[in-house]
Structure 1
Amino acid sequence: MDATERFRTAVVEWAASGTGAPAAAEVAHELAAGTALRTAVLVEGVSDRVALEALAARHGRDLGAEGIAVVPLGGATSIGRFLDLLGPQGLGIGLAGLCDAGEESHFSRALERAGLGGGLSRADMEPLGFYVCVADLEEELIRSLGTTSVQQVIDAQGDLRAFRIFQKQPAQRERMVEHQLRRFMGTISGRKSQYARSLIDALELTRIPRPLDRLLAHVSAS
């Protein structure tokens, strides 16, 4: 396990347990002080981490080797706790992040409480390194790739028959295919992460969703 993976694991345990995880807190402190770790990228879930790391790899980048740890929050409502631990009042390391549009207010309020600004709009959050998906990661990737190409990826993964059956469900029949695809990717545990990587791999690098593209550029420059 490399330093960034150890840091990620320790921070998640520390945030979940609060003061009840002194060993995790000690590991996080030691790694932040004694390694080349320079930035924590806070994302809502594992699929966001998978997408960001897969996109970095397509650009020939290894985020861990660059001292960048992508840390899944386990839900946007936890952002405040992670900012407390890692931000100016905690470890004081570089911060960046990605969230869904529906969770933007959680992120902006938490950034304000952490002392990183006041009355933050989406435009204000971006110079801080925090970016918002138009709806969510899946919507961004589906829109960038196009529904026909997404279904080709689903076919390559051996899931096309399952998707066709899903489309025939009463709750899905009248929905646009974009919505069906988004919902399908969340129906089974692990499927969002599976398709986050597959869709990133299928995208032309000129069509990368703006939030992902800008976030990677930010942590490259920071």
Structure 2
Amino acid sequence: MDLRSSLADAADLAAGTVVLVEGASDRCAIEAVARRQGHTLAGVAVVPMGGVTNLRHFLDLFADRRVAGLYDAGEEGYVRRVLASRGTDLSSAGIARLGFHACRADLEDELIRALGTPRVEELVEAAGDLRSLRRFQRQPAQQKRPLAGQLRRFIGTRSGRKSRYATLLADALDPARTPAPLDRLLAQL
């Protein structure tokens, strides 16, 4: 979906609070973790932006609402510049106080670390993808990558797989082991 269509769809949302995320898989994970923790997202819309570089457009669209979100730590400079362009000079803690929380690599990385690689491999097997994972791991580019990195990359290799696994990983997560960025985000909603 292109930016114009995404913005047009989002403009019709009636939610008083908007959580901005990079993509659909992030929305799936947030909704699954919220459900598992007993959080109702009534009055909250989780909106995929199609990438962090669309943040400015979505902040403009939702200027009259409470906005929060997740972003990848590698994109913090960009997030800081966009938020600072609204008149605020922000440290990492300041960004978090505004409701935006950084994931180390991305949300899938956070979920994989929280579950541990043995549990993620069990989920891959239960989903019927273990054979595909093993074939993927034999690729030369994957052989020197740590298992967590292989799993993260595998999850993102096929259309629809990232959203499917975001839900599977989040549903398997013990609420007490919720990754810190996601936990802080949900606590602010």
Helix, strand or coil for the counterpart of 1:114? coil
Query: Cα RMSD between the aligned structures?
Result: 1.9
Runs of 4 or more above 2 Å deviation = 11-15
Structure 1 position 85, deviation (Å): 1.5
Q: Which residue of 2 aligns with 1:93?
A: 65
How many aligned residue pairs are there?
188
Q: Which residue of 1 aligns with 2:167?
A: 197
Q: Verify: 1:62 aligned to 2:62, yes or no.
A: no
Q: Which residue identity is paired with 2:31?
A: E
Counterparts in 2 of 1:74 and 1:160: CA distance versus 1, 3 Å: same
Report which structure shows greater RCO (CA 8 Å, sep ≥6): 2
Structure 1: 5+ residue runs without aligned partners?
Answer: 1-10, 16-20
Q: Which residue of 1 aligns with 2:147?
A: 177
Maintained 8 Å contact 1:46/1:193? yes
Q: CA offsets, 1:144-173, max 9 Å, x none? A: 110000000000100001001110011111
Q: Percent identity?
A: 55
Structure 1 position 121, deviation (Å): 1.9
Counterparts of 1:25-104 in structure 2, within 5 Å, are 28=12, 32=14, 37-63=15-41, 66-87=42-63, 92-104=64-76
**How far apart are the structure 2 equivalents of 1:12 and 1:67?**
24
Q: CA offsets, 1:132-191, max 9 Å, x none? A: 001111111111110000000000100001001110011111111111111101100111
Q: Which residue identity is paired with 1:150?
A: V
- Name the larger-Rg structure: 1
Match of 1:139 among 103, 109, 129: 109
Maintained 8 Å contact 2:104/2:110? yes
Match of 2:82 among 81, 85, 110: 110
TM-score, normalised to structure 1, is 0.80
Maintained 8 Å contact 1:100/1:137? yes
Helix, strand or coil for the counterpart of 2:167? helix
Structure 1 position 109, deviation (Å): 1.2
Maintained 8 Å contact 1:100/1:135? yes
Maintained 8 Å contact 2:6/2:49? no
Match of 2:5 among 10, 13, 30: 13
Q: Which residue identity is paired with 1:48?
A: D
TM-score, normalised to structure 2, is 0.93
Maintained 8 Å contact 2:71/2:106? yes
Counterparts in 2 of 1:14 and 1:178: CA distance versus 1, 3 Å: closer
Maintained 8 Å contact 1:154/1:160? yes
